[in-house]
C-alpha cells in the first residue's frame, strides 16, 4: 500500500500494490560438518562402553540361566540315584518277606518277626513310589528350565557317577575375579562414569563447524513448476563457532556428580575383587572337602552293601534273627542317605566353584 502521492503513478488516494507472485515454491538442501566438537569422541566411546555393558548383562543372564539348568539337571541325577536305591531296597525287602514266610511256616521265626518284615516291605513300596514321583517332578522342572514342551519327556544322558568323576582343576588359578562377569560389569560402569565426567569438562570448549545451503525458489503467477525460467537458485556457506558462556555451573556440578560416581565404582571394584577372591578360595576348599567326604561315603556304602549280602545269607541259614537283619538294613539305609547327601554337597560345591572361576 503506497500513501497518496507515491507509487509508479502518483494518485491523491492510497494505492494498493501487489508484491510477489501467485505461487512460490522453495526447495533446498542444508548441511553442516563439525570441524571440532569436543564431546563427539567421548560420546562415541560412551556408546561403545554401553554396548559392551549390554553384552556383559546378557552374559550374566546367560550364566544365571546355565546355573539354573545345571542345578535342575543335577537334581534329576540325584533323584535317579535315589529311585535306584529305593528299587533295590524294595526288591530286598520282598525277598526278606518271602524268606520270612517260609521260616514262619517252618516255625523258625515268630509271627511278630513276620509282621515286621511285612511292614518293612510296605514301607519300601511307599518310599519307592514317592521317590519315583520326585524323579518325575524333577524331570518336569528340568524340561521347564530348558524350554521343552509341556508333554516332552526329558531324560538325563549320563549317570551321577560319571559326573562325579570330573573334578574341576582347583590348582594354579589366581586372580580369577578378572574372569567374572560381575567384575566386568562394574569396570564398564566405572569407564562410563569417567567418560561422562570428561565429557562435561570438554563441553566448555567451543564447537567449530561448517554449514551451507543450496536452494532453488520457484516464482510464477500460474502453477507451472516444470516451466522454464521459473526457478531461481541461491546458496550460501559459512563457519560457525558456538560455545556456552555461562550455564549456572550446571556442567560443573554434573561433572562432580560423575566423579563421585566413579569413586563409588572404584570402591565397588575393590570390594568386589576381595569378595570374588574369597568366593573362589572358599569354593575351592568346599569342593575339595566335599570330594573327600564323598569318597568316604562311597566306601561306607560299599561296606554296608557287603554286610547286607552276608547277613542275608545268614538269615536264610537261620543264623541271625529278623531283628538283626533289620538292623543291618537300617545301617545300609543310613549309608545310602549319607551317600546321597554327599553327592548333593559335591554337586553344589562343584557349581559354586565353576561360578567362582567364571566357567559356567
Would you tell me which CATH number, out of the four given (2.40.50.140, 3.40.440.10, 1.20.1600.10, 1.20.1090.10), belongs to the domain 24-356? Answer: 1.20.1600.10
User: pLDDT at position 9, please?
Assistant: 64
pLDDT tens string 13-65: 776 666 667 788 888 999 988 888 888 888 889 999 999 999 999 999 999 99
Q: Average pLDDT in the 97-103 region?
A: 89
Tell me the percentage of the chain whose pLDDT exceeds 90. 43
Rounded to an integer, what distance in angstroms lies between the CA atom of residue 360 and that of residue 73?
Answer: 14
pLDDT tens string 268-283: 999 999 999 898 889 8
- Whether residue 166 is predicted with pLDDT greater than 70 in this model: the reply is no
Whether residue 216 contacts residue 28, with contact meaning beta carbons closer than 8 Å, is answered with yes
> When comparing pLDDT for 58 and 153, which is higher?
58
- Whether residue 348 is predicted with pLDDT greater than 60 in this model: the reply is yes
Whether residue 20 contacts residue 219, with contact meaning beta carbons closer than 8 Å, is answered with yes
pLDDT tens string 170-199: 655 566 788 889 999 999 999 999 999 988
The pTM for the full model equals: 0.75
Whether residue 122 contacts residue 93, with contact meaning beta carbons closer than 8 Å, is answered with no
Whether residue 265 contacts residue 188, with contact meaning beta carbons closer than 8 Å, is answered with no
Residues 6+ apart with CB under 8 A from 227: 220
Query: Distance of CA 137 to CAs 83, 90, 151, 337, 344, Å?
Result: 13, 21, 13, 20, 17
Domain range list for the chain: 24-356
Residue from 242, 241, 244, 240 nearest 200 by CA: 244
> When comparing pLDDT for 201 and 134, which is higher?
134
User: pLDDT at position 173, please?
Assistant: 57
What is the residue-averaged pLDDT of the chain?
87
Q: What is the DSSP letter of 168?
A: P
Confidence of residue 321 (pLDDT cuts 50, 70, 90): confident
Rounded to an integer, what distance in angstroms lies between the CA atom of residue 117 and that of residue 100?
Answer: 7
Amino acid at each position: 500500500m503506497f500513501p497518496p502521492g507515491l507509487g509508479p503513478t502518483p494518485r491523491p488516494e492510497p494505492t494498493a500494490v501487489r508484491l510477489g507472485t501467485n505461487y512460490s515454491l522453495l526447495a533446498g538442501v542444508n548441511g553442516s560438518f563439525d570441524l571440532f566438537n569436543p564431546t563427539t569422541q567421548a560420546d562415541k566411546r560412551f556408546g561403545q562402553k554401553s554396548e559392551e555393558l549390554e553384552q556383559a548383562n546378557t552374559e550374566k543372564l546367560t550364566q544365571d540361566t546355565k546355573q539354573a539348568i545345571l542345578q535342575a539337571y543335577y537334581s534329576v541325577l540325584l533323584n535317579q540315584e535315589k529311585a535306584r536305591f529305593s528299587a533295590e531296597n524294595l526288591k530286598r525287602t520282598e525277598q526278606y518277606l518271602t524268606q520270612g514266610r517260609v521260616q514262619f511256616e517252618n516255625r523258625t521265626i515268630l509271627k511278630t518277626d513276620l509282621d515286621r518284615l511285612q511292614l518293612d516291605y510296605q514301607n519300601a513300596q511307599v518310599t519307592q513310589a514317592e521317590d519315583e514321583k520326585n524323579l518325575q517332578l524333577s524331570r518336569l522342572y528340568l524340561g521347564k528350565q530348558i524350554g521343552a514342551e509341556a508333554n516332552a519327556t526329558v531324560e538325563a544322558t549320563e549317570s551321577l557317577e560319571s559326573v562325579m568323576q570330573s573334578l574341576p582343576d582347583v590348582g594354579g588359578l589366581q586372580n580369577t575375579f578378572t574372569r567374572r562377569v560381575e567384575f566386568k560389569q562394574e569396570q564398564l560402569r566405572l569407564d562410563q562414569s569417567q567418560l561422562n565426567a570428561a565429557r562435561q569438562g570438554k563441553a566448555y570448549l567451543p564447537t567449530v563447524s561448517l554449514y551451507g545451503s543450496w536452494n532453488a525458489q520457484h516464482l510464477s503467477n500460474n502453477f507451472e513448476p516444470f516451466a522454464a525460467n521459473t526457478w531461481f537458485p541461491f546458496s550460501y556457506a559459512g563457519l560457525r563457532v558456538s560455545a556456552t558462556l555461562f550455564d549456572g555451573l550446571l556442567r560443573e556440578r554434573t561433572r562432580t556428580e560423575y566423579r563421585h560416581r566413579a569413586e563409588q565404582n572404584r570402591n565397588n571394584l575393590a570390594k568386589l575383587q576381595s569378595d570374588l577372591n574369597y568366593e573362589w578360595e572358599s569354593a575351592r576348599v568346599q569342593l575339595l572337602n566335599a570330594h573327600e567326604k564323598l569318597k568316604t561315603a562311597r566306601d561306607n556304602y560299599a561296606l554296608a552293601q557287603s554286610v547286607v549280602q552276608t547277613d542275608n545269607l545268614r538269615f536264610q541259614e537261620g543264623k541271625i534273627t529278623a531283628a538283626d537283619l533289620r538292623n543291618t538294613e537300617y545301617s545300609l539305609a543310613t549309608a545310602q542317605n549319607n551317600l546321597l547327601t554327599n553327592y548333593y554337597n559335591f554337586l553344589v560345591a562343584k557349581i559354586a566353584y565353576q561360578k567362582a572361576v567364571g566357567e559356567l
